[in-house]
Amino acid sequence: MHVAAVGVTVTLLGVCAAVPECWPPEVEQAGFLGTLMRLTEDVVAAASAVHGLGDPKPPVGVRPKVRVQARKRRLRPEALVARRDLLPDIAHVGPIVAAVREYNDFVSSWATDPRAHGDPKLASVLAYAGAHSTFATVVSTFEDHAAVTTVFAARMLLEEAARFTWLAQDLEDEDAFVQRSTRYFDEFRARKKKTIALFAGNGVTLAAATRLFRLPDSVVEGPETLSKGRQPLPSIDEMLLLMGAPYPEPGWLPVAYSLLSQVTHSTPIGLVHMARYRGGTLSAHDISPEMLALALDAACLGSARLLGMSALLLTQGSNEARQYALGLEERALAVHDRARLVHWLD
């Protein structure tokens, strides 16, 4: 809430400076912005009392490291068409929404207690519970003015599904699974250590920084030390390609992830897909059919992979979990078959 309040306020102030003509004339600007600043300060004060991060100080004499990584091109330039060749905007998501509702009904048709078969692995519990929660966000937001939240949630599901697919591939090879699990948790142990050090080096007390990463008492924590010769996780593109291997166009998932990222990072492409002109009136909370189709497609495919694989792991491969996983994949692919006729990526 601290970040959200500051982000909205700073964005509004920037827009007022950059394009003052956008300000509605019937609203008195100075009074509105003054109230906005006061309310933002109230949120910051209340939030700071909870998270305890205080007022970080900029590092002295330290130049930030900027990593630049070359990205492989996934889009084919020859697929671009001239404006005069564009078809009318007749894309319709009705059939996709109907398939998503069927998928959602099946999602809630079966559940398992993560602790019913002994002490579960934390990664499986997080994948199972997180997928349920994040997909519920998609279902509850895609039809109203919070559709941008749908895109955020779909991107999260796709990314985590790719990561979990990489982690849980070839479960029969126990040694390989242990090695991947070690890399998986080493990655997050390293990020945790780096983030705490970053906080502590920027004016935040070590106790406050450490408290943010403290797990509940019900979670049995593993070792905190990193493995010698630690290998970082593969890039998200590599994991998405692994997840997309069975598709006719294996490279479509990295493209899908990149397009969803356009919205989450508010790029010009993302903004174009989150605004529509109808009769000369701007609708700034409306999502394009193509982006909605892509978001619903990715949300179903991602949640199906996470829920299906984690359910199998949590129940030690029970027949009920196997049938549930197959049902999820079947219904998610039904959504995909309809969605790709709108977003055209696969």
In the prediction, which pLDDT does 103 show?
98
Tens digits of residue pLDDT in 205-243: 888 888 888 888 877 777 778 888 888 889 999 999 999
The model's pLDDT over 71-95, given as tens digits with 9 standing for 90+, comes to: 666 556 666 666 666 555 667 899 9
Please check the confidence at residue 37 and state whether its pLDDT lies above 90.
yes
Using CA atoms, how far apart are residues 151 and 74, in angstroms rounded to an integer? 20
Average pLDDT rounded to a whole number, residues 291-309: 96
Q: Tens of pLDDT along 157-174?
A: 999 999 999 988 876 787
Contact call for residues 306 and 130 (beta carbons, < 8 A): yes
pLDDT, position 72: 65
Closest CA to 302 of 151, 183, 178, 93: 151
What is residue 185's predicted lDDT score, i.e. its pLDDT? 85
pLDDT band at 291 (very low <50, low <70, confident <90, very high): very high
Q: Which residue has the tokens 């040694």?
A: 175
The rounded distance, in Å, linking the Cα atoms of 344 and 346 is: 6
Predicted structure pTM score = 0.81
Q: Which tokens hold the place of 138?
A: 């998609």
Which H or E run includes 281? strand 281-283
